[in-house]
Amino acid sequence: MKPITTSVYTFKKLIEGGFLYVDKTRWLYDLVKFPDGVFFLSRPRRFGKSLTLSTLESIFLGAKDLFKGLYIYDQPFEWKEHPIIRIDLGDKQAGSAEELKEKLDYSINNNADRYGITLQRNGPDSRFEELVLALKDRGQVVILVDEYDKPILGNIGNPELPQLRNVLKAFYSVIKGVDEHLRFAFMTGVSKFSQVSIFSDLNNLTDLTMMEKFAEMPGFTQEEVEDNYTQYIDQLAGKEGMARSQLVDKIREWYNGYRFSKKEVTLYNPVSIGKLFENLDFKNYWFETGTPSFLIHLLKEKQFDIAKMLERPVGPETFSVYDVEHLTVLPIFFQTGYLTIKDTVATSRQPLYRLGYPNIEVEESLNKCILKDYSQAVDDVSCVLYDLQTTLRQGDMGRFFEMLRIFFADIPYTIQLKHEKYYQTIFFVLFRLIGLDIEAEVTTNVGRIDAVVETEDTVFVFEFKLQGTAEEAIAQIKAKHYAQKYENSGKIIRLIGAAFDETTRNLERWIEET
């Protein structure tokens, strides 16, 4: 029963420390066995990108003994030491082009110092090229870049963003210029900008992000989790008082579900599954590792309709960001791991993709962040959600609407009532988080319901009017027969119409019919 760590991202330390390592060298061998190649991989945070680079570094240092027992150890490969340039932008925050140039210079200088090289040129791109040319006599050079896009994602909304992009574009273009001296190059990041943006000069780049062949390279499959964590699964099953098969289903529902290609394989985030077995406790570990503040800002700025986002299939062009200065919501949400591929839709030309939340952990993380940010009156979202759920189960609609008003109490006056998507978003995430059998924005053959909540014995059909009356809301439910599909459910059906007051900008009146 090997120890688990979620804080060590160095392959050598993992192996020498005797920690559990899920063997991913089968896919790495497919990359390194060729004489050259420049590769790129986009994956969400905490998905093993840094460990992948560290493993590649050990391979190209010729450290074969570290790989005993792993797939690559027995494959035909020349375990030869190569000079390696390792650049990690994860801790290189910069708010201006000049500051970014300083950070890049610092990284290049550190690499040069490791090899006893003194650089003479000025500017990070020139010094980068100079370093490669100085190392080429020691062997073909390997370049490994981690979190290439951190300076971009850390500056969403910064007027300096175009200048920052240009600095990175010039820096990464060096890789194409020194191609004849390279043995291998690999770049990782969260976002996938199109090749007409940051990578416009790097036209020899092979993008692995959505290749079926490499879909399982970072992240853990269901089989890998059950094979590698089997003793931990048994231990957690005992603690939870569950049969092993039941526990495996619960783990899958909470943490599995990421999918990055047409291949029908879903993955676990390595950090979340590792923390589950470290702590033997089901918790929202994704939320603990960072909040998506820039995503929430993007949602609000674009007045994005989350419900429609989950309904509509999208084309493959959705998965690339084309312009760092005019970001769109869907690609960023997919690349950061808050949405993933749930299904494919066959067409005559190219497949379409249905997106959705990967799992409970991610859905809860995102929706709680949205709810807290959109409604500044709420401090403890979990407690309020529990109270709302309780009042619904009790059928106490008076108390339910009294509590619902909290979420609209402190909406800034800069958000006008006419911005319906702002309010629709609050309703959507609120009802998702209540945790009952809920369908939001249910499509019927004659219209669209705002929300339906099912408890053990009752179906609640809600219609909210932002500009209208509660009576009009009830009339719409009846006229469009929203409740018809539930009439044979054997449950009580309660029709609820609610309306906002344009003066107070809050829920002021609601009526109900059973």
DSSP string, 346-363: --SSS-EEEEE-SSHHHH
What sign for the dihedral angle of Cα 124, 130, 133, 138? Answer: negative
Q: Which of 212-216, 428-432, 461-465 has the lowest mean pLDDT?
A: 428-432
Question: Which is higher by pLDDT, 435 or 20?
Answer: 20
Does the domain made of 375-513 have the CATH classification 3.40.1350?
Answer: yes
In this model, does residue 457 exceed pLDDT 90?
Answer: no
Question: Which is higher by pLDDT, 233 or 503?
Answer: 233
As a whole number, mean pLDDT of residues 402-431 equals 71
What is residue 155's predicted lDDT score, i.e. its pLDDT? Answer: 80
What is residue 439's predicted lDDT score, i.e. its pLDDT? Answer: 60
CB 459 within 8 A of CB 494: yes
Surface-to-core class of residue 3, CB atoms within 10 Å of its CB (0-12 exposed, 13-18 middle, 19+ buried): exposed
Task: Give the closest residue to 25 by CA, choosing from 55, 62, 46, 60.
Answer: 55
**272 vs 290: CA distance, rounded Å:** 12
Could you read off the pLDDT of 472-495 as tens digits, one per residue?
A: 999 999 999 988 889 999 999 999
What is residue 377's predicted lDDT score, i.e. its pLDDT? Answer: 60
Could you read off the pLDDT of 30-45 as tens digits, one per residue?
A: 999 988 899 999 999 8
What is residue 101's predicted lDDT score, i.e. its pLDDT? Answer: 96
In this model, does residue 273 exceed pLDDT 90?
Answer: yes
What is residue 139's predicted lDDT score, i.e. its pLDDT? Answer: 96
CB 262 within 8 A of CB 316: no
Q: Which of 115-124, 438-447, 467-476 has the lowest mean pLDDT?
A: 438-447
In this model, does residue 280 exceed pLDDT 70?
Answer: yes
Question: Confidence class of residue 50 from pLDDT cuts 50, 70 and 90?
Answer: very high
Question: Confidence class of residue 157 from pLDDT cuts 50, 70 and 90?
Answer: confident
161-177 and 124-135 are packed helices; what angle lies between their axes, rounded to 10 degrees?
20
Question: Confidence class of residue 112 from pLDDT cuts 50, 70 and 90?
Answer: very high
pTM of the complete model: 0.86
What is residue 127's predicted lDDT score, i.e. its pLDDT? Answer: 97
Residue 101 tokens read as: 């140039």
In this model, does residue 202 exceed pLDDT 50?
Answer: yes
Question: Confidence class of residue 415 from pLDDT cuts 50, 70 and 90?
Answer: low
What is residue 306's predicted lDDT score, i.e. its pLDDT? Answer: 74
Q: Is 229 helix (H, G, I), strand (E, B) or coil?
A: coil
As a whole number, mean pLDDT of residues 212-232 equals 96
Question: Which is higher by pLDDT, 330 or 10?
Answer: 10
What is residue 51's predicted lDDT score, i.e. its pLDDT? Answer: 96
In this model, does residue 268 exceed pLDDT 90?
Answer: yes
Which range of 121-125, 305-309, 375-379, 480-484 scores highest in mean pLDDT? It is: 121-125
CB 506 within 8 A of CB 405: yes
Task: Give the closest residue to 226 by CA, choosing from 242, 245, 211, 206.
Answer: 245
In percent, the amount of the chain with pLDDT more than 70 equals 90
Topology at the third CATH level for domain 11-209: Rossmann fold (3.40.50)
Residue ranges per structural domain of the chain: 11-209, 215-373, 375-513
What is residue 444's predicted lDDT score, i.e. its pLDDT? Answer: 56
Q: Which of 120-134, 243-257, 288-302, 342-356 has the lowest mean pLDDT?
A: 288-302
**128 vs 106: CA distance, rounded Å:** 11
In this model, does residue 92 exceed pLDDT 60?
Answer: yes
Mean residue pLDDT of the chain comes to 87
Q: Which of 65-79, 180-194, 217-231, 371-385 has the lowest mean pLDDT?
A: 371-385
What is residue 445's predicted lDDT score, i.e. its pLDDT? Answer: 56
**152 vs 93: CA distance, rounded Å:** 9
In this model, does residue 235 exceed pLDDT 60?
Answer: yes
What is residue 506's predicted lDDT score, i.e. its pLDDT? Answer: 80
What is residue 29's predicted lDDT score, i.e. its pLDDT? Answer: 98
What is residue 196's predicted lDDT score, i.e. its pLDDT? Answer: 47
In this model, does residue 6 exceed pLDDT 80?
Answer: yes
